[in-house]
Amino acid sequence: LNEFDLIRRYFTPPTRHTVLAGGDDAALIAVRPEMEVAVSTDALVSGQHFFAEAEPRAIGYKSLAVNLSDLAAMGAIPRWATLSLTLPDADPVWLERFSEGFLSIAQDHDVDLIGGDTTRGALTVCVTIIGEVEAGRALRRSGARPGDELWVSGTIGDAALAVAHLRGDLVLQPAERAGAMQRLDYPQPRVKLGRGLLELATSCIDISDGLVADVGHLGECSGVHISIELDALPRSALALRYCDHPIGRRAVLAGGDDYELAFTAPAAHRSSLEALAGRGVALTCVGRVEPGSGVSVVDRSGVPMILAETGFDHFR
């Protein structure tokens, strides 16, 4: 298989809303009037974002999922993606599974794969996602105001517990491991939720670096202090079992791989948010926005915790 055959065989599904995709020097897309274009890019690197022996289907799925999650956090509709794939060799079995994973989530979200390239080298998957959002209406990190409440979608901590298991830091039982691995390998980008938040949230971010770090970004961009109530954090049965274990506590505060949304909203929107949760993913109020700066986490006795490890940083 040469480079062109490889792209033709695995990465040229039909497109549904693209003027010209693949096979030319650039793809052409038409953006609807009154829409701004949202663009995000994220590379997944073997040994950093996934284990080298990870299931290729999961790598393909997740490489698009994490980018979709970025658009979800903006309240944008994902529409198009490019894929730049660096591979040690052109293994047809690996490629078949990788492309299945990538294309299945692309189809679920009606995203057209419009271009990309392949190169020989260390396994790196670089995806750029492009979407649309009503002009002037995107959710940003900078709109949180004192008096707002902090919310988190779904449950958090499971993906980090899966990582801890894979690293040998703790041992999960087969049934709990399966659930945690599913959260790690197949995160559900909260695109529909992001759309629903357009009218309701004042700021929004996806939890990719860890809850405290990402809420810290909201606080920094908005110029406010955000207080998180530890016991309010939504956890699965598994994460609850580990809630007093240092690894479990770190998973929920600093584990970033769940790709849930953290957002702020005025207290007046509480019932609208509860109605939104009733139609989709659970939403939990987990803290509040105050004047000041920084993030604090308050434990069950009301005492602020000392935050040693607040997130993940590739170069720290």
Q: What is the x/- site pattern for its own copies, positions 182-221, by CB under 8 A?
A: ----------------------xxx--------------x
52 is an interface residue for its own copies by CB under 8 A: no
CB of residue 259 to its own copies, shortest distance in Å? 11
Give the closest residue to 263 by CA, choosing from 205, 199, 189, 221. 205
Pick one of 104, 124, 272, 296: the residue that binds its own copies (CB under 8 A). Answer: 124
Neighbouring-strand partners of residue 263: 151, 204
Residue closer to its own copies (CB basis): 144 or 180: 144
Report in angstroms the alpha-carbon separations of 224 from 11, 56, 144, 177: 45, 41, 7, 38
Distance, CA of 222 to CA of 144 (rounded, Å): 5
116 binds its own copies (CB under 8 A): yes
Contact call for residue 6 and its own copies (CB under 8 A):
yes
Binding flag, residue 24, its own copies (CB under 8 A): yes
- In this complex, which beta carbon is closest to its own copies, that of residue 29 or of residue 161? 29
Q: In terms of CB distance, is 40 or 188 closer to its own copies?
A: 40
Q: Which CB atom, from 186 or from 312, has the smaller least distance to its own copies?
A: 312
CA gap 230, 275 in Å, rounded = 24
Residue 2 within binding range of its own copies, rule CB under 8 A: yes
Contact string 136-175 vs its own copies (x = CB under 8 A)? --x-xxx---------------------------------
**# chain residues binding its own copies, by CB under 8 A:** 71
Residue 36 or 108 with smaller CB distance to its own copies: 36
CB burial readout 45-64, b (16+ within 10 A) else e: ebeebbeeebbbbbbbbbbb
Nearer to its own copies, 123 or 283 (CB): 123
Among 76, 105, 181, 251, binds its own copies (CB under 8 A): 76
Q: Is the distance from CB of 124 to CB of 43 less than 8 angstroms?
A: yes
Q: Does 293 bind its own copies (CB under 8 A)?
A: no
The answer to whether the CB of 162 falls within 8 A of the CB of 184 is: yes
| Identity of residue 88 | P
Q: Which two tokens stand for residue 221?
A: 């961009």
Q: From the CB of 137, what's the least distance to its own copies, in Å?
A: 10
Q: What sign does the dihedral 136-137-142-143 (CA atoms) show?
A: positive
Position 54 contacts its own copies (CB under 8 A): no
| Closer residue to its own copies, CB minimum distance, 46 or 296 | 46
For 145: left if phi > 0, alpha if psi spans -120 to 50, otherwise beta; the answer is beta
Q: Which member of 54, 90, 230, 247 binds its own copies (CB under 8 A)?
A: 90
Helices (H), 89-245: 92-108, 158-166, 174-185, 191-197, 211-222, 237-241
